[in-house]
Structure formats: structure tokens, C-alpha cells
Amino acid sequence: MKAIQLEKPQHFRTIDLAEPAAPGAGEALVRVHRVGICGTDYSGYLGKMPFFSYPRVPGHELGVEVMAVGEGVANVKPGDRCSVEPYMNCQHCFPCRRGNGNCCETLKVLGVMMDGGLCERFVLPARKLHPSAKLSLDQLALVETLAIGCHAVNRGHPQPGDNVLVIGAGPIGLSVIEFVKLSGARCIVLDLNPQRLAFCREKMGVKHTILSPGDGSELDELKQLTDGALAQVAIDATGSHRSMGAALGWCGFTGRLVYVGITQQEVTFPHAPVMHRRELTLLASRNALPPDFTRIIKLIEDGKIDTQPWMTHHATFEEMIGVFPGWLKPEAGVIKALVRLE
Ligand SMILES: NC(=O)c1ccc[n+]([C@@H]2O[C@H](COP(=O)([O-])OP(=O)(O)OC[C@H]3O[C@@H](n4cnc5c(N)ncnc54)[C@H](O)[C@@H]3O)[C@@H](O)[C@H]2O)c1
Ligand SMILES: [Zn+2]
Ligand SMILES: [Zn+2]
């Protein structure tokens, strides 16, 4: 069975893997049809992802078909097409027992800390499969990216009419935007890249964008847009410690700030005059929960999320190693690249 392995940074190769064993109790054997590529894969390729270890078969955004199920599996059957929740949790630790498997103490993400889906077939716990008879395979592979935004917006809990500032309009920011729009809040997007802001306006229906030159002028623009109230909810999806620190100043009184982007650097911000005085709430957002997957599948099925603007690039399994470095170039304009296995 073929797989693509990232042997070490910047070195993909096609390898032969042994056929997976028959699924055990509670498990399913799946055939992989689509693999979405995201920032985590690009960082892993460049050797810049601290949670990534090598060699590794990547692939955590998956559209799969069930081939066989083990004893006791009731949620899926052979032939079902599914999205995969790639967060392998222990089910026993404190957060798992509290229903927060998204941040299990020993969480392993498929394709990041363990071999993932860039292969023909593999076995996984069936409880990680979310079936849909209506979604295309591309859409099934997109569900995980959307789940990151869904969870982040849930953490921020915006109310209809709130001003929600989304900082960073990369794929994670875009997935946040989808759920801000659904919340009935007013979406304002800030980025330093004018092309990304143009994409938000032209393809995502965002009305208000702020180009941030990093000189403080963004605060004035935000004040104008919000009648001085600033953001009731801000969600930082940049991965930049700079904007993560500055973002507290973009939150209004009693505002909530969610960090969905991740930085290895320290984040600093003024406490007394900003965080304390405005009584802000600071939240992290990690991965997503099973109900997020169910909700997103239903939203796409009902036509409430348009996945069309997302699907910008495709390659076959055979083409992927050759075209992958090109997807990293900003001028390629990749939002979501998908690898097809037939
Ligand atoms: N919470 C999670 O579970 C989770 C899951 C996946 C990815 N992530 C993280 O989300 C972040 C975003 O991922 P992505 O793939 O969208 O990245 P990306 O690099 O494609 O997008 C980041 C965007 O932020 C903008 N930006 C950077 N610095 C900025 C600044 N100082 N001010 C304003 N805009 C700025 C960039 O121009 C870019 O458009 C990353 O840190 C990634 O690791 C988190
Ligand atoms: Zn991803
Ligand atoms: Zn756990």
C-alpha cells in the first residue's frame, strides 16, 4: 500500500506500507479519498512545526470511505463517506472525562504526532468518523479546517450585533469568519496583507476590513467602525505574538479575546490600563469538539456554508510531491489544496 512520507524537512518520498490489520472492536478500516493540506503541513515540511516529528506520514484533513468495521461499531457502516476528527484522545485523563477531548493531556493529532491519512487505507477508532451522504469528498476533507474556526467562535461566544474583530485572514481566520457570520455578529477583519483582505471582501462577503500597517492606525479605524466601542469579541488567528499582544487594546470594555493562532514566543500586554480596567476575558482555543463536526456537516448540507471559495488547488497523489513546494508561495494564492486518491 502506497503512502507519502515526510522523511525529514523538505523531503517527501513515496513509501510502501504494510496493509493495515482488520479493524478491532470499536475500530473502522477506511479508504482515503481526499487529503486537505494546511498550515501545519507546510510548517512540518519547512521544519518549523514544533509538534511535528519525522519521519511522518502527514494528513489530518480527510475525506474517507468506510471499508469495514470491527465489533460494536454502530455509528458507521461499510460504504459510508466520512469526515475524520483527527484528535486521538485517551478518554481517561481529566479533560477527557470532562468532555474536553480536544485538549486531552496526551492528545495525538493524526498526521502530526502520529502517522496520518496520506496513504491508501488505515484503521482508526470509529468514534472519530462523522458520516454524510450529501457532502462531496472535498467538502468532507474541509470540515476539520472549519471545525477550528467553529470552536474558536464558540469560545468567543459573540452575540448578534456584536462587533467581532478577526485578526489574520489565512485559512484559519477564514474558517473563523464563516462562524462569525453565522452568529449574527458584525465581522471586521484585520490583516497586514491587502490580498487576503480583498479575498475576504470579494469571496467571503466581509464588509469591513482594516489593513494594519502595524503603526497604531488600525485602532483609529476600529474606533470609527465601532462608534468607539471597539470589539466585543476579538479572535486572533495570526500566530504572531505581536498582534496577540496588541489585540487586548482592540477589545472594548468586558470584551473577550480568543487566541486560536499559536506562537512559541511570549505574548506581552499592559495589564492595569487595559486588561484589568476593561475587565477582559482571555481564552485559548485548541482543536475542536465532536459536536462541531456534526454541526458543520449539517450547515454544509443545508447550504449555509458555501465551500466553493475554499477549494483553490487540487493534485493527485502522484503529483503531490512535485507541486507541494509551489503551494507554499504566496503568489500561488492557495486557500485549500486537496490531494486526490482514487
Ligand atoms: N487552535 C488550533 O487548534 C489551530 C489549528 C490549526 C492552526 N492553528 C494556528 O492558526 C494560525 C493561523 O493559521 P493559518 O494557516 O491561517 O496561517 P497563515 O499564515 O496562512 O495566516 C495568518 C494570517 O495572519 C496575518 N498576520 C500575520 N501577522 C499579523 C499581524 N501582526 N497583524 C495582522 N495580521 C497578521 C498574515 O498576513 C496572514 O494572512 C497559526 O498560528 C496556526 O498554527 C491553530
Ligand atoms: Zn489542518
Ligand atoms: Zn485524555
Residue 216 pLDDT > 90, yes or no?
no
Q: Is 240 in contact with 267 (CB distance < 8 Å)?
A: no
Is residue 262 lining ligand 1, measured as CB closer than 6 Å? yes
pLDDT band at 213 (very low <50, low <70, confident <90, very high): confident
- Residue 101 CB coordination number (10 Å): 23
Whether 249 is in the pocket of ligand 1, judged by its Cβ within 6 Å, is no
Q: How far apart are CA 152 and CA 170, in angstroms?
A: 14
| 243 C-beta closer than 6 A to ligand 1 | yes
Answer whether residue 214 shows pLDDT above 80: no
Q: In 193-240, which ranges are continuous DSSP H helix?
A: 194-203, 217-225
Say if ligand 1 is within 6 A of residue 170 CB: yes
Distance CA 144, CA 182 (A): 17
Q: Determine what percent of the chain is predicted with pLDDT higher than 70.
A: 100
From the CA of 239, the nearest ligand is 1
pLDDT at 174: 98
pLDDT range class, residue 307, cuts 50, 70, 90? very high
The model's pTM is 0.98
Q: What is the pLDDT of residue 270?
A: 95
pLDDT tier at 258 (50, 70, 90 boundaries)? Answer: very high
Distances in whole angstroms, Cα of residue 42 to Cα of each of 118, 205, 325, 327, 334: 14, 27, 9, 9, 12
Q: How far is the CA of 311 from the centre of ligand 2 (A)?
A: 14
Location of C-alpha cell 468495521: 69
Average of pLDDT values for 163-171?
A: 98
Q: What is the mean pLDDT of residues 76-93?
A: 98
Ligand 1 in reach of 173 Cβ (< 6 A): yes
Q: Identify the pLDDT of residue 342.
A: 82
Q: Return the best residue to mutate from 190, 196, 238 for the ligand 1 pocket (most ligand atoms within 8 A of CB).
A: 238
Q: What is the mean pLDDT of residues 25-53?
A: 94
**Dihedral, 157, 163, 167, 171 alpha carbons, nearest 10:** 60
